[in-house]
């Protein structure tokens, strides 16, 4: 019974006791014992896959023992499921479920929470504990597995374990996971607001990064492609699998909370399933596409795919993913439309929970196969080739052929992270445009064309020749940088994506926050007010270049994959925000007057010129331990190429800035014209009342001056 002292303590009505006692009891959700069936399917799939691939067999040399050989994959399976549950549950709490019973978004502490929201946070907190403990187990067992010795309480084992955690890449990665898991779990026991939960969700997603970096596929020939595709795969899997787990665990609460519609509450099952179905559709595409890409990197021939245990596990996982996609399509095409109907609502709810249970079982078995796949040896070796070139050792890739004019179009190396960003941006924009046009509203094709061009430029500079040759030539890197921060943002800003999103997205009517609500929160946040302030945006745009290139950050970005992606993200966002404050039409907390915009543009032009000239005249090699050791046998010397890069920074940097300045001047002129027309229309409506009042004021002043002059002359006459 809820406590009167704690209005948040709401209890969901129990599931109906009548009806069938199978896995799904009427429309009351999934029966509790069957919720453990997914966990059983996970371990059965894991054991079967390990036995099939032989990954759990005893080693001939340095065998750590059965406890480690079986305990490590079991711990990883628990870790993966717990992490997915944390991420999926936070997604539900942040963007799917209503927070309060009344539908109010008030932040008052006495606002009663929705039972589904309360249960979700309890599930996520418990999953966080399991995530932390399993991460610790994986850390210890990973050391035992790599060292080839069983777990021991010997002091030497402890010292070696500490060295593993602090000096070995795999150990540092799992230590980072343990720390992130502990911080997230601690926050989950005290955080209730949706804003803080969103920040916790971001931190939990960061917990996926170490797993992507140390995955065995990351050691392939296309090192960065493998890391990015695996990272995207983990994000999609976590959102999808975690969402299904949370949906299954919430089935009884959702059914009870929406069954009677007591207290004026509306049905919560239909909107919850509809919102998650949209997310699951994107997650399915992301999981399947990234899985195909990652597998193609590891499996280079049909024999590798069909003739090896590793390839056969990949096929089994892909088949299960397709089956799950079909079930998701059934949800979207049949179940969701039937939920709100009068005649088919009850049967649709029963089928809904049956399908969710089927998804839970298939996802459990698939997750077990995935863990076994990570423990299985791929057909291609992972060791560094003995005759690796200096460029391959330093950058992870062999030297590309000598740069010629035609190779500015032909040499590509897909950066799957930015390809995914561009693809998502294109699909989301098209869907938003379609919704706006079907509603009868208009949208400028000029904006659409600019958005498509901007995404094309973004893809070209992150996956095309500028990115390929930017790893070996400073001049090409500067082309890449300047196009990323000064060319692509101009087109993207002219596409007005935030304006389109605000027009296309439907506002939520309950206390949940959808994409539109989070977009408005982001626009009006204190952080947005800071980074979009014209002075800050200009200083960040110009100053970060010097701070980056004349510090160790540049060398880190060239050597390390994470540093390289952070560099791309920083300069893309920096350029986008600066251009947005200059010529953007999307909503912003504040806008600078046009004269200030022109002054800021002139200042940044001068700063870029100064930076380019400084590079051109420099005699010290930037990131010398990188560019000086690539072993490049063609093209200019590293120092001469760097000086050419300074000329590129000066030349390319000035042209886009000049175009933006012209755009500001045009907007200023149009603004003055609009203001003049508005003034003229107002004068026509009130018969030039403002002008008449202005003239009357001067007439009264003239009369007063005349009276004063007459009075002064009379006073002088008397004297």
- What's the pLDDT tens digit per position in 427-446? 999 999 999 999 988 999 99
Q: Which one of 320, 351, 375 terminates a domain?
A: 375
Looking at residue 687, its pLDDT comes to: 57
The most confident of 99-103, 222-226, 365-369, 454-458, by mean pLDDT: 454-458
In a domain, 2, yes or no: no
Same-domain pairing of 58 and 207: yes
Lowest mean pLDDT among 204-213, 380-389, 619-628, 658-667: 380-389
> What average pLDDT score do residues 250-254 get?
84
Average pLDDT, the chain: 84
Domain assignment of residue 702, yes or no: no
* pLDDT, mean of residues 45-55: 88
Question: What pTM was estimated for this model as a whole?
Answer: 0.86
**Which region, left, alpha or beta, applies to residue 631 given φ > 0 means left and ψ of -120 to 50 means alpha?**
left
Q: Assess whether pLDDT exceeds 90 at residue 511.
A: no
Calculate the CA dihedral of residues 509, 514, 520, 521 and round it to 10 degrees.
110
346 and 445 inside one domain: no
Q: Looking at 61-65, 151-155, 267-271, 698-702, which range is the least confident one?
A: 698-702
Which pLDDT belongs to residue 375? 83
With a cut of 70, say whether residue 234 has pLDDT above it: yes
Question: Is the pLDDT at 373 greater than 50, yes or no?
Answer: yes
Q: What is the mean pLDDT of residues 227-253?
A: 91
* Res 704: pLDDT: 76
The rounded percent of the chain whose pLDDT value lies above 70 is 86
The set of residues, in sequence order, having a beta carbon less than 8 Å from that of 298 and lying 6+ positions away, is 217, 220, 226, 304, 310, 378, 379, 380
pLDDT of residue 106: 59
Is pLDDT at 414 greater than 80 in this prediction? yes
Contacts 24+ apart (CB under 8 A), 185-190: 185/125, 185/128, 185/129, 185/131, 185/132, 188/86, 188/121, 188/124, 188/125, 188/128, 189/125
Q: Which one has a higher pLDDT value, 540 or 17? A: 540
Q: pLDDT at position 103, please?
A: 62
Asked whether residue 92 carries a pLDDT value surpassing 90, the answer given is yes
Residues 636 and 623: their CA atoms lie apart, in Å, by 17
Distances from the Cα of 207 to the Cα of 128, 133, 412, angstroms: 12, 14, 30
Q: Give yes or no for residue 5 having a pLDDT over 80.
A: no
Structure confidence by residue, pLDDT tens digits, 280-304? 999 999 999 999 998 888 887 788 7
Please give the pLDDT value at position 345: 57
383 pLDDT above the threshold of 60: no
Q: Is residue 470 domain-shared with residue 414, that is, in the same domain?
A: yes
Same-domain status, 217 and 297: yes
pLDDT of residue 576: 95
Domain membership flag for residue 713: no
Task: Output the pLDDT for position 162.
Answer: 92
The whole-angstrom separation of Cα 186 and Cα 350 is: 37
Confidence of residue 605 (pLDDT cuts 50, 70, 90): confident
pLDDT of residue 226: 87
Same domain? 322 vs 415: no
Q: Which residues pair with 113 in a beta bridge?
A: 100
User: Which residue among 653, 668, 683 closes a domain?
Assistant: 668
276 pLDDT band, cuts 50/70/90, is: very high
The lowest-confidence range among 283-292, 390-399, 630-639 is 390-399
Residues 297-328: b if buried by 16+ CB within 10 A, e if exposed: bbbeeeebbeebbbbbbbebbbebbeebbebb
> Could you tell me if residue 362 is inside a domain?
yes
Q: Is the pLDDT of residue 9 over 50?
A: no
Instruction: Give the integer Cα–Cα distance in Å for 583 and 579.
Output: 6
Do 323 and 420 reside in the same domain of the chain? Answer: no
Assess whether 325 and 415 both reside in one domain: no
Clarify whether residues 335 and 474 are in a common domain. Answer: no
pLDDT score for 458: 96
371 with 472, same domain: the answer is no
Looking at residue 679, its pLDDT comes to 57
Q: Residue 413: pLDDT above 60?
A: yes
- Residue bearing tokens 């107002």: 682
Chain-centre distance for alpha carbon 266:
32
Distances, alpha carbon 655 to alpha carbons 454, 482, 559, 577, 595, in Å: 17, 11, 30, 18, 20
Q: What pLDDT score was predicted for residue 4?
A: 38
Instruction: Give the model's pLDDT for residue 658.
Output: 85
State whether 506 and 639 are in the same domain.
yes
Residue 393 domain-assigned? no
**pLDDT given for residue 17 in this prediction:** 40
The band of 332, judged by pLDDT with boundaries at 50, 70 and 90, is confident
Q: Is 404 within a domain?
A: no
Residue 674's pLDDT is 61
Q: Is the pLDDT of residue 262 over 90?
A: no
DSSP 503-564: HHSPPPSSS---HHHHHHHHHTSHHHHHHTSHHHHHHHHHHHHHHHHTSHHHHHHHH-HHHH
Question: Total structural domains in the chain?
Answer: 2
Q: Within this chain, do residues 287 and 355 fall inside the same structural domain, yes or no?
A: yes
Choose the final residue of a domain: 652, 668, 684. 668
Looking from the CA of 713 toward its CB, the CA atoms found within 13 Å total 6
Higher local confidence (pLDDT), 3 or 71: 71
Residue 273's pLDDT band, with cuts at 50, 70 and 90, is confident
Range of the domain at 52: 32-257+266-375
Segment 102-158, tens digit of pLDDT: 666 655 556 788 888 999 999 999 999 999 999 999 999 999 988 888 888 888 889
**Mean pLDDT of the 379-404 span:** 77
Is residue 627 in some structural domain? Answer: yes
Per-residue confidence band for 502, with pLDDT thresholds at 50, 70 and 90 = very high
What is the pLDDT at residue 14?
Answer: 41
Q: Is the pLDDT of residue 719 over 70?
A: no
**680 has a pLDDT exceeding 60:** no
Same domain, 194 and 240: yes
Is residue 637 one of the residues assigned to a domain?
yes
Q: What is the percent of the chain with per-residue pLDDT over 90, rounded to a whole number?
A: 45
Higher pLDDT, 208 or 335: 208
CB contact set of 566 (below 8 Å; sequence gap of 6+): 557
Highest mean predicted confidence (pLDDT) among 9-23, 148-162, 216-230, 671-685: 148-162
Residue 108 burial (C-beta neighbours within 10 Å; 0-12, 13-18, 19+): exposed
pLDDT (0 to 100) of residue 270: 83
Distance from the Cα of residue 442 to its chain's centroid: 30
624 has pLDDT over 80: yes
């Amino acid at each position: 019974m809820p406590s009167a002292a704690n209005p948040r303590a709401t209890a969901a009505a129990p599931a109906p006791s009548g009806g069938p006692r199978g896995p799904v009891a009427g429309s009351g959700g999934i029966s509790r014992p069957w919720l453990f069936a997914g966990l059983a399917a996970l371990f059965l799939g894991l054991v079967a896959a390990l036995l099939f691939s032989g990954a759990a067999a005893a080693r001939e040399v340095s065998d750590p023992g059965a406890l480690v050989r079986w305990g490590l994959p079991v711990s990883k399976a628990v870790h993966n499921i717990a992490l997915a549950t944390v991420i999926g549950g936070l997604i539900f709490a942040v963007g799917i479920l209503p927070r309060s019973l009344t539908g109010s978004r008030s932040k008052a502490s006495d606002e009663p929470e929705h039972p589904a929201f309360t249960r979700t946070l309890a599930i996520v907190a418990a999953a966080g504990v399991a995530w932390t403990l399993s991460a610790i187990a994986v850390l210890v067992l990973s050391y035992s597995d790599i060292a080839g010795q069983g777990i021991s309480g010997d002091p030497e084992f402890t010292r070696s374990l500490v060295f593993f955690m602090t000096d070995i890449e795999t150990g540092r990665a799992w230590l980072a996971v343990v720390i992130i898991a502990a911080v997230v779990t601690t926050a989950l026991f005290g955080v209730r607001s949706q804003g803080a939960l969103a920040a916790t969700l971001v931190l939990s997603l960061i917990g996926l990064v170490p797993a992507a970096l140390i995955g065995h596929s990351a050691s392939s020939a296309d090192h960065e492609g493998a890391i990015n595709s695996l990272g995207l795969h983990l994000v999609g899997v976590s959102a999808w699998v975690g969402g299904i787990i949370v949906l299954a665990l919430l089935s009884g609460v959702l059914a009870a909370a929406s069954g009677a519609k007591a207290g004026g509450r509306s049905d919560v099952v239909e909107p919850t399933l509809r919102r998650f179905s949209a997310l699951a559709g994107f997650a399915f595409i992301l999981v399947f596409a990234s899985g195909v890409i990652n597998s193609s990197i590891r499996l280079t021939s049909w024999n590798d795919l069909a003739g090896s245990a590793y390839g056969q596990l990949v096929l089994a996982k892909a088949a299960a993913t397709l089956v799950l996609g079909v079930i998701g399509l059934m949800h979207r095409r049949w179940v969701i439309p039937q939920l709100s109907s009068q005649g088919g609502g009850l049967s649709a709810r029963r089928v809904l929970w049956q399908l969710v249970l089927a998804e839970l079982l298939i996802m459990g078995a698939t997750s077990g196969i995935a863990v076994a796949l990570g423990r299985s040896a791929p057909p291609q070796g992972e060791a560094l080739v003995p005759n690796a070139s200096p460029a391959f050792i330093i950058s992870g890739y062999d030297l590309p052929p000598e740069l010629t004019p035609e190779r500015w179009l032909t040499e590509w190396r897909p950066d799957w992270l930015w390809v995914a960003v561009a693809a998502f941006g294109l699909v989301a924009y098209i869907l938003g445009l379609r919704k706006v046009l079907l509603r009868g509203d208009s949208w400028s094709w000029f904006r659409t064309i600019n958005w498509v061009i901007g995404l094309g430029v973004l893809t070209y500079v992150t996956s095309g020749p500028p990115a390929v040759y930017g790893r070996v030539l400073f001049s090409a890197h500067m082309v890449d940088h300047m196009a990323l921060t000064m060319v692509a943002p101009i087109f993207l800003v002219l596409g007005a994506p935030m304006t389109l999103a605000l027009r296309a997205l439907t506002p939520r009517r309950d206390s949940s926050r959808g994409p539109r609500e989070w977009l408005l929160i982001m626009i009006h946040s204190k952080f947005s007010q800071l980074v979009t302030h014209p002075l800050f945006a200009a200083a960040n745009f110009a100053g970060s270049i010097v701070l980056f290139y004349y510090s160790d950050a540049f060398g880190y970005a060239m050597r390390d994959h994470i540093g390289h992606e952070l560099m791309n993200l920083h300069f893309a966002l920096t350029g986008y925000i600066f251009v947005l404050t200059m010529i953007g039409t999307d909503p912003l907390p504040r806008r600078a007057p046009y004269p200030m915009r022109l002054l800021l543009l002139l200042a940044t032009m001068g700063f870029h010129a100064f930076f380019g000239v400084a590079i051109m005249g420099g005699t010290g090699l930037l990131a010398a331990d990188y560019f000086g050791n690539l072993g490049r046998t063609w093209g200019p010397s590293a120092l001469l190429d760097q000086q050419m890069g300074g000329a590129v920074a000066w030349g390319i940097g000035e042209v886009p800035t000049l175009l933006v300045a012209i755009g500001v001047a045009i907007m200023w002129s149009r603004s003055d014209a609009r203001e003049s027309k508005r003034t003229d229309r107002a004068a026509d409506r009130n018969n030039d009342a403002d002008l008449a009042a202005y003239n009357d004021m001067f007439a009264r002043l003239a009369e007063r001056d005349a009276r004063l002059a007459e009075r002064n002359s009379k006073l002088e006459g008397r004297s």
